[in-house]
């Protein structure tokens, strides 16, 4: 990683010297009430030169657990680096967050409009500003997400395979799983990849939910990365992960054979054998009870926690092929 920040950092129109802290505003548009809306960017700089790390969350306005992870990094002072610079953006899609929605007010998914445009949709303008005014200053990005619509993700890092730098960083981070997944078109991750900026995407938990195991996995992983980069202050303890992380090459969603009421009966992150009972689907009248059995052997990395499912709904995300 390059180390670029031994001088004054000029970001979003503000100049920040080594040793300074500043909250900078990433404002793009007012609310429909013409109320100004702040999108705080919290910048902490050490006097000692070092790398610049960006922590982002809330690209999806319903993914509150990611916001909680970045909030804890700030509230605990973990974002005050021993060397270099730490930039935190806890809620990027503030419009979605205010409206309790995943998307922007016009229904756009911010993570499908990158790299954006200065004259495009509101989401596109936010994407453009992030890519052009924040990302050029940073050496590493950690972006926090959760599963969507009631589907609970075991804490996992995601990136496309064949990347030694990210593999090494992922081992340091120590989430229980790494899932190799293709870069999606027009996502933040893809754009950063094209710009040569390493990005670790963390997925854990589900929308509109805060889970302590997920939060701790995100906070502890961030501390390990900062320690690895020499940026974690000595007051913070950073322990090695209890288990080595499992690298997953391929995975498959197991879908519901029937519509009905659904209850999972499997521990998140556990390893299951083919045909093991994972849960059951029932009808409301006590006449029907179908046991969902594992279609194949693997690790359970996502569980649908919705009490009602339709035939074809994704129930369990199970690993099919591990990295050798
Ligand atoms: Zn997301």
| Segment 63-84, tens digit of pLDDT | 999 999 999 999 999 999 999 9
C-alpha 211 – ligand 1 centre gap (Å): 16
C-alpha 103 – ligand 1 centre gap (Å): 10
C-alpha 102 – ligand 1 centre gap (Å): 8
In angstroms, the CA 304 to CA 250 distance is: 19
C-alpha 146 – ligand 1 centre gap (Å): 6
| Cβ contact 89:41 at 8 Å | yes
C-alpha 61 – ligand 1 centre gap (Å): 8
**DSSP of 180-209:** E-PPPTT-HHHHHHHTT--EEEEEEE-TT-
C-alpha 287 – ligand 1 centre gap (Å): 38
Residue 27's pLDDT is what? Answer: 87
C-alpha 63 – ligand 1 centre gap (Å): 6
Range from 105-119, 154-168, 191-205 carrying the lowest mean pLDDT: 154-168
Residue 163's pLDDT is what? Answer: 84
Residue 20's pLDDT is what? Answer: 97
User: For residue 274, is pLDDT > 60?
Assistant: yes
| Whole-number percent of the chain with pLDDT over 90 | 92
Residue 6's pLDDT is what? Answer: 64
Residue in 76, 211, 95 with CA at minimum distance from that of residue 144: 211
C-alpha 7 – ligand 1 centre gap (Å): 34
| Whole-number percent of the chain with pLDDT over 70 | 98
Residue 287's pLDDT is what? Answer: 97
- For 86-96, the pLDDT digits (tens) are 999 999 999 99
Mean pLDDT of all residues in 109-113:
97
C-alpha 110 – ligand 1 centre gap (Å): 9
C-alpha 307 – ligand 1 centre gap (Å): 22
C-alpha 147 – ligand 1 centre gap (Å): 7
C-alpha 64 – ligand 1 centre gap (Å): 10
C-alpha 92 – ligand 1 centre gap (Å): 11
C-alpha 117 – ligand 1 centre gap (Å): 21
- Work out the pLDDT band at 5, boundaries 50, 70, 90: low
- For 212-226, the pLDDT digits (tens) are 999 999 999 999 999
C-alpha 148 – ligand 1 centre gap (Å): 7
- For 133-186, the pLDDT digits (tens) are 999 999 999 999 999 889 999 999 999 887 899 999 999 999 999 999 988 899
C-alpha 27 – ligand 1 centre gap (Å): 21
- For 225-272, the pLDDT digits (tens) are 999 999 999 999 998 998 889 999 999 999 999 999 999 999 999 999
Residue 89's pLDDT is what? Answer: 98
- What are the structural domains of the chain? 9-228 (3.40.630.10), 251-322 (2.40.50.100)
C-alpha 179 – ligand 1 centre gap (Å): 15
| Cβ contact 144:63 at 8 Å | yes
In angstroms, the CA 152 to CA 301 distance is: 8
C-alpha 145 – ligand 1 centre gap (Å): 4
DSSP structural state of residue 100: T
Please state whether the peptide bond connecting residue 44 to the residue before it is cis, i.e. omega within 30 degrees of 0: no
- For 26-44, the pLDDT digits (tens) are 988 999 999 999 899 999 9
Residue 161's pLDDT is what? Answer: 80
């Amino acid at each position: 990683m390059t180390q670029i920040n031994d001088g004054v950092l000029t970001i979003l129109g503000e100049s920040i010297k080594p040793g300074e802290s500043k909250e900078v505003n990433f404002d793009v548009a007012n609310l429909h009430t013409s109320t100004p809306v702040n999108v705080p960017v919290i910048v902490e700089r050490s006097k000692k030169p070092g790398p610049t790390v960006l922590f982002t969350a809330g690209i999806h306005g319903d993914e509150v657990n990611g916001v909680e992870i970045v909030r804890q990094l700030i509230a605990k002072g973990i974002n005050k680096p021993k060397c270099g610079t730490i930039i935190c953006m806890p809620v990027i899609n503030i419009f979605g967050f205010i409206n309790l929605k995943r998307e922007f007010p016009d229904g756009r998914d911010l993570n499908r409009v990158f790299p954006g445009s200065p004259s495009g949709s509101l989401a596109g303008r936010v994407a453009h500003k992030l890519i052009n005014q924040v990302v050029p200053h940073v050496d590493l990005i950690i972006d926090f997400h959760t599963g969507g619509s009631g589907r609970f993700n075991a804490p996992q890092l995601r990136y496309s395979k064949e990347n030694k730098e990210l593999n090494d960083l992922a081992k340091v981070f120590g989430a229980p799983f790494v899932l190799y997944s293709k870069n999606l078109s027009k996502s933040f991750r893809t754009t950063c990849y094209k710009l040569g900026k390493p990005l670790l995407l963390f997925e854990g938990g589900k929308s509109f939910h805060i889970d302590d195991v997920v939060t701790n996995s995100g906070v502890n992983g961030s501390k390990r990365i900062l320690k690895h980069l020499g940026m974690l202050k000595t007051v913070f303890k950073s322990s090695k992960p209890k288990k080595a992380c499992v690298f997953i090459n391929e995975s498959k969603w197991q879908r519901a054979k029937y519509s009905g009421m659904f209850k999972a009966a499997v521990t998140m992150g556990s390893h299951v054998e083919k045909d093991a009972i994972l849960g059951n689907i029932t009808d409301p009248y006590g006449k029907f009870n179908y046991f969902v059995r594992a279609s194949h052997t693997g690790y359970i990395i996502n569980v649908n926690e919705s009490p009602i499912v339709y035939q074809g709904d994704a129930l369990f995300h199970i690993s099919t092929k591990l990295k050798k």
